[in-house]
Amino acid sequence: MKKNLLIVGSQGYLGSRLTEYLKSRGYSCSAIDTGFFKEGMLTTPDFVDTVNKDARLLVEDDLEGFDALILLAGISNDPFGNISSEKIYNPTRDYALRIASMCKKLRIQFIYPSSCSVYGAAKDDFLTEESQTNPQTPYSINKLQVEEGLSLMADESFTPIALRFGTVYGISPRIRFDVVINMLCGLALTTKKVTLNSNGKAWRPHLHIDDACQSFRRCLDWNPNLGELVILNVGQNEDNYQVIDIANIIHSNVESSELSYLDGGGEINGNDLVKDRKIQDGVDTRSYKVLFDKITKILPGFECKWTVEKGIKNLLRELSKIGLDTNSFNKREFYRLQQIEFLHNSQQINDDLFWIK
């Protein structure tokens, strides 16, 4: 019997694809989302019963009757304006652990999407779940803090799962164009330029969005009683690439495109959407190569279906089919930081990132 599932943070990039993926496989999905990215639609998402509520305000009654909870809600980009990273990320850590605590009390399976970015600035070695972490950004530090809190919470009655995703890419009804493969594919199709915002030497593991969704599904079908936090790198070994290699694959698949680098002003087509504020002087300190042997050994049935080359060709095909143009590619709603900044600057949300009534 399929579990009755609650997805918290369902109206973002991953959540919008995940609900489609799980519903098509017979899972009963309910959702909660505060609505920051609700309007950012590339295509029409599948309907899912959604409660409009901030994750920070959830109480036990919101979780009653569910067998499993996937917590996608969170801030996943730079702090902005005069708001400190602590003000942005500390509440994210606190509500993640509070929701996990409620799940423990109610005996609800808890699955948390962490990130391979916790490895941060690494040497040339391939990293495993046991390797030392070295997060470089407030986002990555936050992910690690949540993992540490879950580890302390785990016992014989509660086995939370933290999935350390590679850099996710691929088509979704609410796409993000501020992740490397999606951005470079969008640029190639709309400008005929594959434009890098760094020197391209940083290493990253990449993960197709459907393989990320598959990892959630396999966890839902798995009932480990290990008495400790389960940490799994999610991806496959052959999909570790330098950014320049990703750019070359996309360049070779888009006719008449050219490879270029972001100019000193950091602008393309009159906007700064593709500029990553965490990259200074063309160097990205976040560089890491990751091993994924553990997940294929211990998570029953999991095996990536997509390679980077196959996934890039599929994404280019899907974006072309939709008719992606410059206006669509440059929509603010497809860039998380810019959308949050807009809501804040237009006084729709306050300094605590709550909606202003």
* Domain chopping of the chain, boundaries: 4-176+202-237+288-305
For residue 266, is pLDDT > 50?
no
What confidence score (pLDDT) does residue 281 get? 45
Nearest to 205 by CA among 186, 173, 232: 232
CA distance 280 to 276: 9
CA distances from 30 to 7, 27, 60, 160 (A): 6, 10, 15, 20
Express each pLDDT in 108-164 by its tens digit.
Answer: 999 999 999 999 877 768 999 999 998 988 889 999 999 999 999 999 999 999 999
Q: What is the mean pLDDT of residues 152-181?
A: 97
Nearest to 287 by CA among 353, 202, 209, 213: 202
In this structure, of 24-38, 107-121, 253-267, 331-345, the range with the lowest mean pLDDT score is: 253-267
CA distance 122 to 103: 34
CA 26 to chain centre: 24
For residue 202, is pLDDT > 80?
yes
Q: Is the dihedral of CA 270, 272, 275, 277 positive or negative?
A: positive
Q: Is the dihedral of CA 71, 43, 268, 341 positive or negative?
A: negative
CA distance 131 to 9: 29
What confidence score (pLDDT) does residue 285 get? 65
For residue 288, is pLDDT > 70?
yes
What confidence score (pLDDT) does residue 283 get? 55
SS3 percent helix, strand, coil of the chain, rounded to 5, is 40, 20, 40
What confidence score (pLDDT) does residue 284 get? 61
Q: Which residue in the block uniquely carries the two structure tokens 């959830």?
A: 58
Grouping H, G, I as helix, E, B as strand and the rest as coil, residue 227 is: coil
CA distance 100 to 110: 6
267 vs 141, more confident: 141
- 4-176+202-237+288-305 adopts what CATH topology? Rossmann fold (3.40.50)
Q: How confident is the model at residue 77 (pLDDT cuts 50, 70, 90)?
A: low
For residue 276, is pLDDT > 70?
no
Rg (CA), the chain: 19
